Amino acid sequence: MNTKSIVKLLSKLISCKSLTPEDDGCQKFIAEYLESLGFEIEFKKNGDVINLIARYGKDSPVFAYVGHTDVVPTGNLDKWISNPFELTEIDSKLYGRGTSDMKGSVACILISIKDFINSNKDFKGSLMVILTSDEEGPAQNGIKRLVNDGDLTKHNIDMCLIGEPSSKKVLGDTIKNGRRGSLSGKITIQGIQGHVAYPHNAMNPIHAFSPTLNDMVTKKYDKGNKYFPPTSFQISNLNSGVGASNIIPGQLTMDFNFRYSTETTCDKLMSDIHQIMDSSKLKYNIEWHHSGDPYLTVKKDLLNSCIKATKAVLDINPEITTDGGTSDGRFIAKICDQVVEFGLINESIHKINEHTTEKDLLNTTKVYSQILKNIFESA
């Protein structure tokens, strides 16, 4: 393994203008690279999205690397220090769209897989690389579709490493072993509009709803666990009234969101809210929107391999968290009970002048190589 080969590979990937959901030849190039190492290649096209499923070996355990080749738009080109689609080194930083999120990680895994196969010809197990060009966009035709259509079922994946940029300040300071779920609701409460001087002819939904609202806010939905903070209930909008000071409003609407842990479920939270509402005797209606289940990796093999590798290569004790937005982990976790996210520093992702460094690329490659060794040595 040397820095030159990683940088060469990355500059090829950066030169593909793979603005989501475009792939612009990235996956074809990667497929040829993996094919030359002995991987079997399958492309799965869903609408305008291309997905790559590559596998080496037939035995278990099956280790899969999951990532994406699409990138977010560049923003104002004049503000870039260099052409975002040409990997450019300035003051020991490597600039380009996708360097951190996440073509850099893809380049690192490709090099570490090549090294691993070359020095462990007869290892017991299988390696997979699964890539989509629809992670930065609506994320409907990528990993979500592959999982829902059963395209990955036959592979019986045991462990899944997602190469998203998990590191915060220094490479390896953070590993993610899950993400919280998200459930939103819009509640509408019917009252009876009237004159403030004649309240007996009206029904004020603000007054009627107040105790119920307090019940919702003060309820402990769960206590969380070692990896998740307690489920949080947050109101984002509360509207009632027509603006006049002499009118009792006829309706109230409220938007709320749960960020929830693995100690509860989407169904349980919906029934919690309905229970509170039903005990109020209010006339109401709720529209629900569920954007993702939480996932958590409690089985230790992959997580331990990642922690051990980070300590060995970087001499750092990573924080294990479930924070941040959503990732493709929420989809793949439905078919695999070990999903861990580890990658480059996320400070410049989605920004103008996204960058990484040669040193971080080399170290990420070393960590990935060590993870592979840890997994297959103990298998």
Site of interaction with Zn ion (CB under 5 A) = 101-102, 164
Q: What whole-number distance in Å separates Cα of residue 184 and Cα of residue 350? A: 26
Question: What is the nearest approach in angstroms of Zn ion to the Cβ of residue 20?
Answer: 10
Cβ partners under 8 Å of residue 18, min gap 6? 24, 26, 69, 70, 71, 98, 133
Q: Which of 151, 153, 178, 195 is nearest to 51 (CA)?
A: 151
Q: Mind telling me the catalytic residues? A: 70, 135
Between 102 and 171, CB nearer to Zn ion? 102
Q: 53 near 146, Cβ under 8 Å?
A: yes
Q: 22 near 134, Cβ under 8 Å?
A: no
Question: What is the nearest approach in angstroms of Zn ion to the Cβ of residue 59?
Answer: 30
Question: What is the nearest approach in angstroms of Zn ion to the Cβ of residue 342?
Answer: 13
Q: How many CB atoms within 10 Å of residue 210?
A: 11
Between 181 and 343, CB nearer to Zn ion? 343
Question: What is the nearest approach in angstroms of Zn ion to the Cβ of residue 254?
Answer: 33
Q: Which residue has the closest beta carbon to Zn ion?
A: 101
Cβ partners under 8 Å of residue 151, min gap 6? 44, 51, 53, 145
Report the sign of the C-alpha dihedral through residues 255, 259, 263, 265, in that order.
positive
Token code pair at residue 263: 């100690």
- Which residues is 194 bridged to in the sheet? 248
Between 105 and 112, CB nearer to Zn ion? 105
Cβ partners under 8 Å of residue 356, min gap 6? 93, 94, 99, 100, 104, 344, 345
Between 266 and 345, CB nearer to Zn ion? 345
Between 269 and 340, CB nearer to Zn ion? 340
Q: Which of 375, 350, 209 is nearest to 280 (CA)?
A: 209
Between 101 and 272, CB nearer to Zn ion? 101
Question: What is the nearest approach in angstroms of Zn ion to the Cβ of residue 119?
Answer: 30
Question: What is the nearest approach in angstroms of Zn ion to the Cβ of residue 224?
Answer: 26
Cβ partners under 8 Å of residue 141, min gap 6? 21, 46, 47, 48, 49, 51, 132, 134
Between 23 and 101, CB nearer to Zn ion? 101
Q: What whole-number distance in Å separates Cα of residue 214 and Cα of residue 206? A: 12
Report the sign of the C-alpha dihedral through residues 357, 359, 360, 362, in that order.
positive
DSSP structure string for 172-196: TSEEE-EE-EEEEEEEEEE-B-EET
Question: What is the nearest approach in angstroms of Zn ion to the Cβ of residue 349?
Answer: 7
